[in-house]
Structure 1
Amino acid sequence: MDMEVDVGSVISGLSGGDGAGLGPGEEELEVGGAPGCSGAGSLQFDFERSRSESSGEEEEEELEEEELEGGPGARFGTCQEAELDSDAERERMINLSELTPYILCSICKGYFIDATTITECLHTFCKSCIVRHFYYSNRCPKCNIVVHQTQPLYNIRLDRQLQDIVYKLVVNLEEREKKQMHDFYKERGLEVPKPAVPQPVPVSRGRPRKVLGSVFRIPPELDISLLLEFIGANEGAGNFKPLEKKFVRVSGEATIGHVEKFLRRKMDLDPACQVDIICGDHLLEHYQTLREIRRAIGDGAMQDGLLVLHYGLVVSPLTIT
């Protein structure tokens, strides 16, 4: 009997009871649930709950640290502030004076009209300003680079995008320019030129045809072809380089003075050397334009469509006082 009591007490101690004897049903329940007993399950549940609580506390601490250190929450607030700042920057007004240095012609000191860019150095001017400048020089007015040895007008291109920007920035500039052009032609009884309208390109079926055109197109401003013939030099002319190319294409508005400057530069002539230019039997003056000379002399000045100019080198005798 004592032995049985001791065994029961041992069993009750193992089962976690209070030392009282267990009934047969209770013993079976305890033995049946031994591998996954309720006591073990409660312990595991309490362990997992404590882990979840501790992990929750750690996550709260991490969130607090991220907020203090500029974590995701702080970054979200920063993004909102950055978006507001970017919107404010987009709406910020800019004074025209800040952009004026980029839309002014350095020759006439006015806003670009028919903005034209030199392809060699990418400096931009008004078209009328740069064309007038190239009558006297073949160098860029800004950087002094040689644009072209003989025909600088070959290396200029209209910059339509820049001109559109100028017209949008400067209020009423385009309207004023159109009105001035209209008045200019009307005062002189000329027909006002109409703006060029782009023609629609016809859609052809089948294989596209190759259009053969000239590879090199001469600008319409260069309407005079010159033939420069050398007729000699007197004994005191000194050393000079022969003219390498005697065929020149120029504008009809060029004068004899321009032709003389061209000859002096190409032949490295001494300043004391005088250049006489003759067309037919006429000694030409510096102020005469090539178009006037061709119109005045007529066919006698032309040879195979070329305006023939003869030039000679003379050294003026020194005057003794």
Structure 2
Amino acid sequence: MTSPRKHLVKDFNHFITCYVCKGYLIKPTTVTECLHTFCKSCIVQHFEDSNDCPKCGIQVHETNPLEMLRLDNTLEEIIFKLVPGLREKEQQQEIEFWRSRKSKENGEDGPRSKRSRLDAENDDGGDGDYHRSDPQIAICLDCLRNNSLVEENIVRGLMKKFIRCSTRVTVGTIKKFLSLKLKLPSSYELDVLCNGEIMGKDHTMEFIYMTRWRLRGETVKLIYRPPLKCVWYYRFTSKVR
């Protein structure tokens, strides 16, 4: 009986390394047009200068290639299991990053909460729940009121529009939260915008803070509104009547 063959991590490097930085994929993000996967920070930075995939050269999107990106959480977990210590190393680097971005105005660590900073400083190296040390971010959810649908109370403002959540929370989760709070139909999906630009459902709060929030204040302001197709339909039916 033959013994099972042992595989080394380097045998899988072709599948778990980034084409751009040549390191292990961190927050692996797939381009939906060609299904090539890169580190999220690598592909986002690349799209600042080009709309083409850095690996195959295909045009991802004419104007906004970021809309064609999808996070691959399953692949991320596989990589963390294959490479010992990678998760812990990335967490430590993330903590050091936010510490290095201390605001000169108020002395705070960007969007990290005080509790998260204390947890990081008091960490004794145990195998605790790593989600407890996630950087936190303050979000203001404001309703766009300059269209007729809001006036008809289909979408309204929140009583409490300020929330604090993990920087890993996605826009899709924010939409679900709003739907529950506003008691919207399950099929009704809001548009969420930052600085006038519609955010994709897989965009994380960290991604939005780093790439879209120009003010760089601790609280990120997101605007939600009815989808444009609903506005057009409402205006069209109103004219018909």
TM-score (norm 1): 0.37
Higher helix share: 1
For the pair shown, the structure with the greater C-alpha radius of gyration is: 1
Quick one: higher RCO (CA 8 Å, sep 6+), 1 or 2? 2
